[in-house]
Amino acid sequence: MTVSPVFLVYDSDASLQRMMIEAAPWRISIRDDWAMNNVSTLDSSEETNRIVNAVRCRSEHRSLQLNELRSEYPTAGIVVLTEETVFGPERASLLFAGADACFDSSVLALEVVASLQALWRRGYAFTRASQDEPMLEVDNQISVCDSDDKRWGLKDDGWLLLTPSGREIGLTPTERHLLQVLMANCPHPVERKELVIKPRPGETGRYVDVQISRIKQKLEATGERLPIRSIRGYGYVFVGSST
């Protein structure tokens, strides 16, 4: 079993050098020669479990870079390390853009190392959980949408998800695509291949499974439960009422 790639998005060479030195005793290798097309070596052996791929990015391009990384590597762990002081709203924006954690120059190196370890644990836990996830068998002739008055919706051209409790949740490009397709087809199941935004050679249903799991976790963190169900051997279905 392997863990998906881990990225460190940084804006200061001094910070990167400090992290390389501090991470070494933990047998974590931070490399700064990463390239976007290097996917075969990132995800093919257990050596990737101890490699952090450093991605240099200026602050004004950070959100776009995070979105691109998250879209290309949906199961990846992504940590942002910046020399700038990051306040609450900006930190939240980076997390919504795709980061798993965000640290500024005041952080202890040990905190960053602990965050990386947590991301690897999450990768293992997700792999085990996805193998045991109960599937819902659905008869295509039966409506499975909830009949209550709670409604889900999309606004701002699909970039904001409206929850039944009135919350507005920002979406990444992939999350937007998934929800647009699933909600438009409710109560009918949608095949996994129809949910992949940009199919790539060798892409499997695992890509979609990971994306669905991520968006469910994102909603659960706000106290909401996203009504998407698995269909064994087929895909997913949105089972909530939508506007």
Contact of 59 with 13, CB cutoff 8 Å: no
User: CA separation (Å) from 46 to 29, 50, 134, 140, 233?
Assistant: 13, 8, 28, 41, 28
Tell me: pLDDT of 80 over 90.
Answer: yes
pLDDT score recorded for residue 44: 40
pLDDT band at residue 192, thresholds of 50, 70 and 90? confident
- In this predicted model, what pLDDT tens digit does every residue of 46-70 receive, in sequence order? 444 467 888 998 888 888 889 888 8
Distance CA 6, CA 75 (A): 9
Query: To the nearest whole percent, how much of the chain has pLDDT over 70?
Result: 75
Looking at residue 211, its pLDDT comes to: 86
Report whether 123 contacts 77 (CB < 8 A).
Answer: yes
User: Rounded to 5 degrees, what are φ and ψ at 83?
Assistant: -75, -20
Mean pLDDT of all residues belonging to the chain:
77
What domains can you pick out in the chain, each with its CATH number? 6-36+44-130 (3.40.50.2300), 153-238 (1.10.10.10)
Query: Which residues share a beta bridge with 52?
Result: 6, 30
Cis peptide before 173 (omega within 30 of 0): no
pLDDT band at 10 (very low <50, low <70, confident <90, very high): very high
The whole-model pTM stands at 0.51
pLDDT tens digits along 144-167: 344 344 688 898 888 889 998 888
Q: Is the pLDDT of residue 41 over 50?
A: no
**Residue 130 pLDDT exceeds 80:** no
Confidence of residue 193 (pLDDT cuts 50, 70, 90): confident
Provide the greatest CA pair distance for the chain. Answer: 61
3-class secondary structure for the chain? CCCCCEEEEECCHHHHHHHHHHHHHHCCEEECCCCCCCHHHHCCCHHHHHEEEEEECCHHHHHHHHHHHHHHCCCCEEEEECCCCCCHHHHHHHHHHCCCEEECCCCCHHHHHHHHHHHHHHHHHHHHHHHHCCCCCCCCCCCCCCCCCCEEEEECCCCEEECCCCCEEECCHHHHHHHHHHHHHCCCCEEHHHHCCCCCCCCCHHHHHHHHHHHHHHHHCCCCCCCEEEECCCEEEECCEEC
- pLDDT for the residue numbered 210: 86
